[in-house]
Structure 1
């Protein structure tokens, strides 16, 4: 039974006295202007003001809040730093938004066991900062790593530029303390490298808050490599850059990262941060190599030769930390930078096999030309994780619809070529209705059975990840009108 059909559900306002008893006066936000601060995550096209916002400071408080929601039939939505790009933390108008940003203690840096124990609100990069004096760092590095939280990384199974060599969040989580949808606090795994039995950690990481809330995370620490070198190589075409990627991987070189940007993305980055990439480049390739010094030195020469053979007209090599930061400056700013060249844009996320990169990029160019919608391409070329940025003017009638159509067709291309509708941004609300493009009815039913085995009432982050009639019956994108009953306060649209 869905929450919409559950007539016994309690309005979140009725829970406020009990929520304040759990989290304190300053840990419960009821004022509309305060609640509106949390109406969306990094995907701003989807907005909903939460019924009430709670900011717990401990696992016990999280468990008590979730237990109360479970007992009263009130939905809850977990939220970290709010940097997600799939509306996975979109609030529920009649629910509780459970924000873990106050739970930001690094509990332990365990050098002997090469792991760290942290609360979910800890920023991704802060783990590396804490581990660096010991010669270690935390490998998963989303572009938002300065601000995104570990709890959100766990929920979305975040990746980053260096996931080619080091893997995604799921490859770095050893243990979790989790509050289940019924409010029970359980421990999965621990400091050991592996745990016996079913891979419950693997099931929880990437579940987008639909299976509960992480309150404590044990993550791997990776030893800082002896040497790191970053190369920036410029090409006269995307095909030539893609050929270089295939050559590098084909020769058995495994860089820690291979990133690519097209001319439009470079234009945006130059306008935003003056990254000084080679003039006239139709594509730039960022290749980072790390490991033992002798191995890295040999690979640098190999990569330079392979890029030249593929048609590179300029390759720069940065070995020091400051020089490497300059090379990465344009890439790390790419998503925000396109705001300099377009009033609005859709950040897309899909995956294709590396061997299909050139074909899919050509098809995206054709889609852009046919629709008149510009597309800036920024992507993790090494593992085929595309991040096309679909640009449009949201003041122009019909522009959103055309941009959304191009965006959806790009995902179709990914699936058509044996890829996926998402690589690291998650499904959330944004792609829930696109799941049938990748999975059949039996697959989706199996997913739903597993989800409901842990959350039979459907209170944990409802209407996310899996398609539902209520969600998919609505027109995607920006809500264009308001029902008269909603405007008069007699009903809630969600």
Structure 2
């Protein structure tokens, strides 16, 4: 436990006097062990899961209740100290990277499930509650919380709200925004505001939709009401193999075109399959150029019918092999590989850069070919893992940060993938947010007038620009320096790629 602010060493990134001032003020409203300022205590907060970008915070505050959140915001506003909200730190876009002279406000101690109503099928939770913990608590009632990011064992609902997280089942059940009914938050002015309601609608402007996905730039979440849905009687997964990645991409569009909305529809290419199979032994086809995982859930009769329909579509679309899970254990094993695709990448490379973009499903094959060309251009390998059903891409660019220029090439590679997403009519993010990672790519997608509108929304909530500043929205100067404001609607930057 820290006992003396005087014992903290000064740094070149902020003055000791400023650190002492802020920490002392925060200790008037928080217990001493909830205000961290020594390097050994604040270093764990220097980055989120985008570990290539780091900045040790000046102070970390760990409130235990809503009143303390209000007090922290009042102190930081009066002292003009920027605040970076932080959940579990599993984000992949640098949204929780600290500001050099700022405070990290961690919601880790706000971790209570306040109320679970099995009849209304809702749960009221604090932001530090883990995603999977909600489903665990609801399981006794035959209910669960549908959004399931790959990091669901660790990520928290507050972070999910900030990034509008999805997961492998978002195709059928929606993203965070479709499963949250109400958010209680604290503004930079210290005002407690409730957005949304437990009813079918709420009076006034739909600010809940504005707030979800705002990456901690508009307020601090203190409570969330989520929807719970009945656990399906049965779920089964098809694993379909393809000997050509273009064929697999087209098969995804064929499934949706047939009027089928699977509970999950995921794609993994040969590189990702070869990486993850020795790691989890999921039973994947190592000879396939790509595999699709297609899940059906519902009653036994519904599942049997949908599995048959999907199998027929996949066969006619060029699948070379089709396997269907015969037990719940086998279904979970099939999914285990997809859920562990990111950590398994460490078997091939010491570092990886996980991208996140969304494209029209019909363009999957085209974009996959484009990424393959970029691998040759930048001399880096890329494992492709997709929420294929809704066109959400997660290319894993592998590099070695110890090798000169590899991180820089990985950044250029990632930026070009996002430009291609925009060029085919998509967007630069699906569920990871913008943070600092994609802030330059915002210059590609949005016009100066659109970015100005974003800043006006930010100003309405946070006129002092103290909440997670310098994230998500690029300035005009930044875009001018980026120098790539050349992707225009109706024009194609990659004319050499085939259309499908």
Whether TM-score is above 0.5 comes out as yes
Between the aligned partners of 2:433 and 2:84, the Cα distance in structure 1 is: 15
Q: Could you say what secondary structure the match of 1:22 adopts?
A: coil
Between the aligned partners of 1:470 and 1:33, the Cα distance in structure 2 is: 36
CA 471–119 in structure 1, closer or farther in 2 if over 3 Å, else same: farther
**Is the CA contact (8 Å cut-off) linking 1:113 and 1:191 kept in structure 2?**
no
**Is the CA contact (8 Å cut-off) linking 1:140 and 1:168 kept in structure 2?**
yes
Between the aligned partners of 1:66 and 1:276, the Cα distance in structure 2 is: 50
Matching residue of 1:41: 48
1:12 Cα offset (Å): 4.1
Q: 2:213 aligned with 1:203, yes or no? A: no
The aligned runs of 1:146-225 (5 Å cut-off) are 146-225=153-232
Between the aligned partners of 2:207 and 2:292, the Cα distance in structure 1 is: 37
Of 35-44 and 230-239, more deviation after overlay is shown by: 230-239
Of 368-377 and 65-74, more deviation after overlay is shown by: 368-377
Unmatched tracts of structure 2, length 5 or more? 1-16, 483-500
Matching residue of 1:279: 286
Between the aligned partners of 1:451 and 1:266, the Cα distance in structure 2 is: 42
What is the CA deviation profile of residues 206-232 of structure 1, one whole-angstrom value per residue up to 9, with x for unaligned ones?
000000110000001111122211111
The aligned runs of 1:342-353 (5 Å cut-off) are 342-353=349-360
1:473 Cα offset (Å): 9.0
**Is the CA contact (8 Å cut-off) linking 2:237 and 2:324 kept in structure 1?**
yes
1:238 Cα offset (Å): 1.0
Q: Could you say what secondary structure the match of 1:272 adopts?
A: helix
**Is the CA contact (8 Å cut-off) linking 2:358 and 2:426 kept in structure 1?**
yes
Matching residue of 1:251: 258
C-alpha RMSD of the superposition = 1.7
Between the aligned partners of 1:92 and 1:474, the Cα distance in structure 2 is: 21
TM-score (norm 2): 0.91
Q: How many residues align?
A: 467
What is the CA deviation profile of residues 283-332 of structure 1, one whole-angstrom value per residue up to 9, with x for unaligned ones?
01000111232221111111112222222222111143211110011100
Residue 69 of structure 2, aligned match among 62, 68, 74: 62
Matching residue of 2:420: 413
Residue 107 of structure 2, aligned match among 82, 93, 100: 100
1:101 Cα offset (Å): 0.5
Divergent runs of 4+, >4 A = 469-475
Q: 2:403 aligned with 1:403, yes or no? A: no
Unmatched tracts of structure 1, length 5 or more? 1-9, 476-494
Q: 2:36 aligned with 1:29, yes or no? A: yes
Matching residue of 1:325: 332
Q: 2:126 aligned with 1:122, yes or no? A: no
What is the CA deviation profile of residues 325-349 of structure 1, one whole-angstrom value per residue up to 9, with x for unaligned ones?
1001110010111110012221000
Q: Could you say what secondary structure the match of 1:387 adopts?
A: strand
Between the aligned partners of 1:83 and 1:473, the Cα distance in structure 2 is: 31
Between the aligned partners of 1:63 and 1:397, the Cα distance in structure 2 is: 45
Q: Could you say what secondary structure the match of 2:396 adopts?
A: strand
**Is the CA contact (8 Å cut-off) linking 2:352 and 2:396 kept in structure 1?**
yes
**Is the CA contact (8 Å cut-off) linking 2:442 and 2:474 kept in structure 1?**
yes
